Structure 1
Amino acid sequence: MAKKLGFFLCTGCGIGEALDAAALTKVAAKEYKIPVCKEHNYLCSAEGVDLIKAEVEGQGLDGVIIAACSSRVNGDVFRFPGAFLDRVNLREQCIWVHEADDEDTQMLAEDQIRMSCEKAKAATVPEPYVGEDLSKTVLVVGGGLAGMTAALEAGKAGYPVVLVEKEATLGGWLNKVYKTTPMAAPFTTPEDPNVAGRVAEIEANGNIKVYTGAVIEKIAGGPGMFDAEINQGGNIVAERVGAIILATGSKDNVANLDHLGYGKYANVITHADFEAMAKAGNIGAQKVAFIQCAGSRDAERLPYCSAACCVETLKQTIILKELAPEATAYVFYKDIRSSGQYEHFYKAGQETGAIFIKGDIKEITEAGGKLVVESEDILLGGNARVEDIDLVVLANGMIPSNKATEAIVAAAAQDDAGAEAAATQEAAEKILNLQYRQGPELPNLKYGFPDSHFICFPYETRRTGIYACGSVRAPMDMAKAVGDATGAALKAIQVVESTAGGAAVHPRSGDLSYPEFALQRCTQCKRCTEECPFGAINEDAKGNPLPNPTRCRRCGTCMGACPERIISFKNYSVGMIGNMVKAVEVPEEDEEKPRILILACENDAIPALDMAGINRLKYNSWVRIVPVRCLGSLNLVWIADSMSKGFDGVLLLGCKHGEDYQCHFMKGSEIAEIRLSKVSETLDRLGLESDRVRMMQINIMDYAELPAILDKFSEDLEEFGPNPMKGF
């Protein structure tokens, strides 16, 4: 607990003109007996920062409260090692959204200071968790293009690398192709795979240790201290590594292609078969039909676009012209998706004389040993019919290598995301063999890809310190896979360095706190282990939680899950938030000044509220905002505290979750929604309207809608009338 606090009020940016600064300082000095209270008109200036530093050092302050702007700005300016720091947002969430020199705005500002004082009283500076025998080695699983690139990039950056490939040689898909799509300017000509050159570069790098013909037997531990057992031909080798990159690529989706004649006609082949023919120098066809989206972008088969198929077909039309100059190519397509620099490649494909026909395939039949393709012809109108085709090449889609085709297809037809995840996990090919209570492989998103947060945090999976890259992470072409692998290598380097200092990597980058468990009060309910989105908590034989601090992302979901409230952080706890709620001064009923508590997720809701302030969007001043790390950290006692305090309503603002948007902590918003359903039942039993407590999912770009959301909630509360528990 902070013993000596300092309060510093900035009167710049209009704060001094909009608020009674002396009254604000009085809250800290008189109500909370804070010994050091200072005002300055420009706290983020060198002079203002020096003022704070002088007081911290001269007075021996171990807690600093800065009442000024949002904590999302000037984070690099306000740094005072050894002292707990809390920021009171008097600018974006007070004077910029409420009327200046107004009684309600002043009351809001004073309540904000009270809440901060309660927080600072309860918090201490986190002591980082640093494990023993930490490793900065990067384990790369998969030796294809993405895996070799990731290994080389990490090795060139000076980090030890262990590269594991299940085949006898490195190269992966590169070993099977005649040429690759272009990966550098001018993006017009297929390139040599150069497998030998890439392998030679790896062998020449002293930081990279390679295991071929090897698989992962098991992996235990967490970032900085993963213990991997590698099975190479029956010989088990142990390696301690700090981070893991999954780069096992994808495999062809060849299921359910019979409607295109695959498996029925010998001269209907996949694009992989065409590569093998080209590599052997034997195309043996004069009239070739390339069919795009073969089984892909089809709700009954593979619903998504595999991203690389179009450019692969463009490459093959060019190869066809190279190996069989007299041959003619027909490309049947829904859309040509050759984004970015690959537009140049599209033009190169057109210049081969290939004939492009836009429309869905209607039928493929055989006549006299040749094939007949019938399709729509959207551009010219009507239908197209091409006869005497020697070869049909299907641009079939890709699925991640760690999932079974049948499971993906079955799951894609389901609306229930939970059932889909279960199906794909059950059918998973075991690759990492994690010794996690939550399962041996990576949890996945829709269609089996293991990305963690596809919008804000690419590469990251739901297992901290394990990063996916290349086509196991998402469908992509080769050029993108190279960039993707480089990004994953950088993330792996970031996590080993952060772990060495006891800091979180994402989303709370640099956070030194971690959950602490008062296990003597644990009832072994298992809720913390079940609800942790990241597998950071295992269990011992008796069912007690076994936390793995280096896996933790500091979301606090476990804290919110625990009915006994035995889990807390040094700077974030159930009691701390409860005291902040209780610190708000709630007017009596006859004063007609309702109070609304907003528990706002720091990842999207707080930035959205700040954006509303930056754009000077006004909303009512009844609200009192308490930032939370994630709505997953919501403990139901906060709702009880707010109702007993006399708040008229509680609004939870958290990240959107679902297929098209994700909670930054993966499951936090969803879990909060489930918990909230229990609150509604309790409120109904108490005779309080359940709608007094609501949850809204928002993203940062919903800031313009926030005033209407808050004002509508206020209007609804007015209809309910005051909280009958007010004043008790």
Structure 2
Amino acid sequence: MADNKFAAYLCAGCGLGEVLDFETLEKVAKREGKMQVIKRHDFLCSAEGVQTIRDDIANEGVTHVLIGACSRRAKTDAFDFPQTPMARANLREGVLWVVAPGTDHDEVRQEMADDYIRMGCAELKKMAVPAGNPDCASNKRILVVGGGMTGLTAAIEAAETGYEVLLVEKQAQLGGWAAKLHKRVPFREPYAEPQDTGLAELIARVEAHPKIGVHLASTLAETAGAPGRFAVKIATESGAVTQETVGAIIQASGFSTYDLAKLPELGGGLPGVVDQAGLEQLAKAADGGAIQRADGQAVNSVVFVQCAGQRDETGTHLPYCSGHCCATSVKQAMYFKDANPDVDTVVLYTDLRMPGMGEDFYRSAQTKGVIFTKGKVSTVTAAGSGCNVNFRDLILNEEVTLGADLVVLATGQVPNSGVNIDLVVELATEEQASGDQAPAEATPVATPVDLPPSILNLTYRQGPDLPQLKAGLTDSHFICFPYETRRTGIYAAGPVRRPMDMLQATDDATGAALKAIQAVENAALGRAAHPRSGDLSYPIVRLEGCTQCKRCTVECPFGAIDEDERRFPVFNESRCRRCGTCMGACPVRVISFENYSVDTVGSQIKSLDMPDEFSERPRILLLACENDAYPALDMAGLSRTLYSAFVRAIPVRCLGSVNTIWITDALNSGWDGVMLMGCKRGDDYQCHFVKGSELAHYRLSKIDDTLKQLSLETERVASYEVAITDSQRVAALINDYAETIKRIGMSPMKGFN
């Protein structure tokens, strides 16, 4: 610390100098913040202002920099000093633009600005430059698991970018489901006719590419390691095993069709009933001629039943729509009309979903004579050599029976996700005995029968395959990071992560390939992957203070922490997303990052000039997730949406990183209330770190006991779910909470400080 030189640079631009008392700000930075260099500039983000800072770093020995100006999310290119710890005091979006102008507010606005300078100085004193991951791994080869349209596209896209690719396919030939199709739904102009799949050309490109190695009739026997150094064992049907090292993995294991046998009410098992995959086989056999049933019977009438075993609200069948089925039925109806216009073709649907240019395709089918009827099918029964389809016509509101030689059921996609960890584990009750730990990840304890084969065979303590959603789809952040799973460096693409058609799957494959490339490049530089891409910090643990409680290992959403033989945590930095969940989980606070720790936030909480209990000027601490809540606060400032000047916002990497000691310290220090704002949790979560908001909610459920011990009202701690677009709502939440504090009164803890 003696060799460090701390400097504060204050910007008077954007109207700050016209409203705030900069002489007071400078005094706060010097006397309370102990800044050794203090400079004011009219436009700090200008080339001249930035050069002033660079010159002081280079020539004056400045080692730590505080920027008192705009939000930390603004001017990041200008204020870029990679080898210098830097803190930001948000005076523009966080003070100037959110406190009403006028003399009545001048004093509280100045207090707000003074506090943000105090907080910035306190944070800066606890920061260091991240040294980077000491365990870098430089393998940049990409493994693609699955040789269907998705896997082939991912492989060729990565290889064409210059990266080596290993492609593993469990079948003896490439192609997957695409190889079973007669034609595909059109994906280019004129969108009027079924088109060739293009699979043969794609396979030829893959097999001829010098950077792609193909393993057919092979599976993954074991996957270990981390980004940049995954060790995989590839097993063939003959039993031979090859070990390879790769930098990132793309799981493109595709889907299976929903089992017809589970739909006896819709004729599953009858000779005149097939699913869409079965019809493709018949169409391929016909090769453009008249399509016959498998028993050789001619087809003069065919009925397509949409949503067969899909969009089911009872929990018996698939709860979701498989997306492609409507367009696929239109395509297959055209098979019959193109071969013989006299074949009666009827598509029964409740909702016909034709995204993109599908409307043109639908109109083309109508022109060919395909009939579309809005109806809800109840049963399909045998009738002579054919079938009767019984349904309620939703337009005429009457029961109708329609005869058909062939019935085609749109049964939907079931992802080939491997083993669902929820079926093979039970929660680790030992760690939850104290009642403080959330059930973030489970510990394998048993293996029931009738499990699907594992796809990846991961050696992770959390299970052999990627975490799944309730429907069995591979868990990935569907809004912000669609390909990214909870296993860093492993990406899901195609129908394994959500139902989709062939065009969507190829787009998905391209995105996953790009993310895999980003992962191997970051791993080689020791940097974090998404969403803190490029972050060089990583967890540091003081093992001498560790109590071996295992909360960090269990709560880490990404499987980045294992245990050694003494049960101490072992951090796998390459898997780490730098969310800080482990830091929030640690009861003895021995886990930290160089630039983000219990101390960097805790020192800010304790740095304020706390008004006494008679001032009627409460202080409300707001811990805001940097991914959604803090940007929403910034946008509130940009739109000049006013909120209470009694709030002090501290951005946190994720609500999962919030250590309850911060809340206890705040209450003990006289803060009148604590607000937490994070992303939406639950099945349709929006948390960038998947489990952060859920974990924070669980931990906060225990705060009431602390409040009661301190004889404080439970309203003094509140948690909210917000989205990045909630700029108006966050301001309203702050103002409403300020009214709540006004109603219950100032904290009695102020008298003890």
Distance change (3 Å), C-alpha of 1:59 and 1:528: same
Partner of 2:311: 297
Matched position secondary structure for 1:174: helix
1:598 corresponds, among 619, 622, 635, to 622
Distance change (3 Å), C-alpha of 1:156 and 1:522: same
Q: How does 1:451-530 map to 2 (within 5 A)?
A: 451-530=475-554
| 1:245-275 per-position Cα deviation (integer Å, ceiling 9, x unaligned) | 0000011112531110112x21111111101
Q: Is the deviation greater in 524-533 or in 671-680? A: 671-680
User: 1:386 and 1:424 mapped to 2: Cα distance?
Assistant: 50
User: 2:145 and 2:164 mapped to 1: Cα distance?
Assistant: 14
Matched, 1:642 2:656: no
Q: Is the deviation greater in 450-459 or in 102-111? A: 450-459
Partner of 2:88: 87
Q: Does the CA-based 8 Å contact 1:161-1:208 persist in structure 2? A: yes
Partner of 1:217: 221
Q: Does the CA-based 8 Å contact 2:442-2:462 persist in structure 1? A: no
Q: Is the deviation greater in 650-659 or in 463-472? A: 650-659
Q: Is the deviation greater in 134-143 or in 677-686? A: 677-686
Q: Which amino acid aligns with 1:589?
A: E
Q: Is the deviation greater in 122-131 or in 434-443? A: 122-131
2:348 corresponds, among 323, 327, 332, to 332
Partner of 2:374: 358
Q: Does the CA-based 8 Å contact 1:64-1:85 persist in structure 2? A: yes
Q: How does 1:695-710 map to 2 (within 5 A)?
A: 695-710=719-734
1:156 corresponds, among 157, 160, 180, to 160
User: 1:491 and 1:402 mapped to 2: Cα distance?
Assistant: 20
Partner of 1:398: 413
Matched position secondary structure for 1:53: helix
1:261 corresponds, among 248, 267, 275, to 267
Partner of 2:433: none
User: 2:446 and 2:388 mapped to 1: Cα distance?
Assistant: 37
Q: Does the CA-based 8 Å contact 1:421-1:448 persist in structure 2? A: no
User: 2:604 and 2:447 mapped to 1: Cα distance?
Assistant: 42
Partner of 1:272: 277
1:247 corresponds, among 236, 252, 273, to 252
1:448 corresponds, among 467, 472, 491, to 472
Partner of 2:42: 41
Distance change (3 Å), C-alpha of 1:403 and 1:354: farther
Segments of structure 2 that go 5 or more residues without pairing to the other structure are 293-297, 424-438
Q: Does the CA-based 8 Å contact 2:225-2:231 persist in structure 1? A: yes
User: 1:133 and 1:29 mapped to 2: Cα distance?
Assistant: 44
Q: Which amino acid aligns with 1:642?
A: A
| 1:506-543 per-position Cα deviation (integer Å, ceiling 9, x unaligned) | 11122111101111222211100000011111122332
Segments of structure 1 that go 5 or more residues without pairing to the other structure are 409-416
2:635 corresponds, among 611, 621, 625, to 611
Partner of 1:413: none
Distance change (3 Å), C-alpha of 1:425 and 1:497: farther
Q: Is the deviation greater in 253-262 or in 212-221? A: 253-262
Matched, 1:317 2:333: yes
Q: Which amino acid aligns with 2:257?
A: D
Q: Does the CA-based 8 Å contact 2:443-2:462 persist in structure 1? A: no
Partner of 1:679: 703
Query: How many correspondences in the alignment?
Result: 718
Distance change (3 Å), C-alpha of 1:209 and 1:128: same
Matched position secondary structure for 1:700: coil
Matched position secondary structure for 2:650: strand
Shift of the alpha carbon at 1:367?
2.4
Matched position secondary structure for 1:493: helix
2:390 corresponds, among 368, 374, 388, to 374
Matched position secondary structure for 1:337: coil
Q: Is the deviation greater in 194-203 or in 632-641? A: 194-203
1:343 corresponds, among 359, 376, 397, to 359
Q: Which amino acid aligns with 1:402?
A: S
User: 1:422 and 1:31 mapped to 2: Cα distance?
Assistant: 52
Shift of the alpha carbon at 1:418?
9.3
Matched position secondary structure for 2:566: coil
Distance change (3 Å), C-alpha of 1:422 and 1:183: farther
Distance change (3 Å), C-alpha of 1:418 and 1:476: farther
Partner of 2:302: 288
Matched position secondary structure for 1:146: helix
Matched position secondary structure for 2:606: helix
Shift of the alpha carbon at 1:133?
4.7
Shift of the alpha carbon at 1:185?
2.4
Partner of 1:143: 147
Matched, 1:385 2:385: no
User: 2:743 and 2:173 mapped to 1: Cα distance?
Assistant: 72
Q: Which amino acid aligns with 2:155?
A: A
User: 1:472 and 1:707 mapped to 2: Cα distance?
Assistant: 40
User: 2:57 and 2:283 mapped to 1: Cα distance?
Assistant: 72
Shift of the alpha carbon at 1:545?
1.1
Matched position secondary structure for 1:701: coil
Q: Which amino acid aligns with 2:333?
A: T
Q: Which amino acid aligns with 1:585?
A: D
Partner of 1:555: 579
Partner of 1:588: 612
Q: Does the CA-based 8 Å contact 1:4-1:63 persist in structure 2? A: yes
Partner of 1:113: 117
| 1:592-628 per-position Cα deviation (integer Å, ceiling 9, x unaligned) | 1111111111111101111111111111111111111
User: 2:701 and 2:726 mapped to 1: Cα distance?
Assistant: 24
User: 2:625 and 2:395 mapped to 1: Cα distance?
Assistant: 49
Percentage of matched positions with identical amino acids: 49
Q: Does the CA-based 8 Å contact 2:441-2:555 persist in structure 1? A: no
Partner of 1:231: 235
CA RMSD of aligned residues (A): 2.2
Q: Does the CA-based 8 Å contact 1:293-1:396 persist in structure 2? A: yes
Matched position secondary structure for 1:650: strand
Partner of 2:430: none
Partner of 2:23: 22
User: 1:317 and 1:213 mapped to 2: Cα distance?
Assistant: 34
Partner of 1:566: 590
Q: Is the deviation greater in 535-544 or in 641-650? A: 535-544
Taking structure 2 as the reference length, the TM-score comes to 0.92
User: 1:591 and 1:428 mapped to 2: Cα distance?
Assistant: 65
1:207 corresponds, among 200, 211, 234, to 211
Q: How does 1:60-79 map to 2 (within 5 A)?
A: 60-79=61-80
Q: Which amino acid aligns with 1:290?
A: F
Q: Which amino acid aligns with 1:288?
A: V
Shift of the alpha carbon at 1:369?
2.0
Q: Does the CA-based 8 Å contact 2:45-2:75 persist in structure 1? A: yes
Shift of the alpha carbon at 1:380?
4.2
| 1:27-82 per-position Cα deviation (integer Å, ceiling 9, x unaligned) | 11232232221111111122221222122212122211111111112111211131
Q: Is the deviation greater in 557-566 or in 423-432? A: 423-432
User: 1:88 and 1:419 mapped to 2: Cα distance?
Assistant: 36
Distance change (3 Å), C-alpha of 1:428 and 1:86: farther
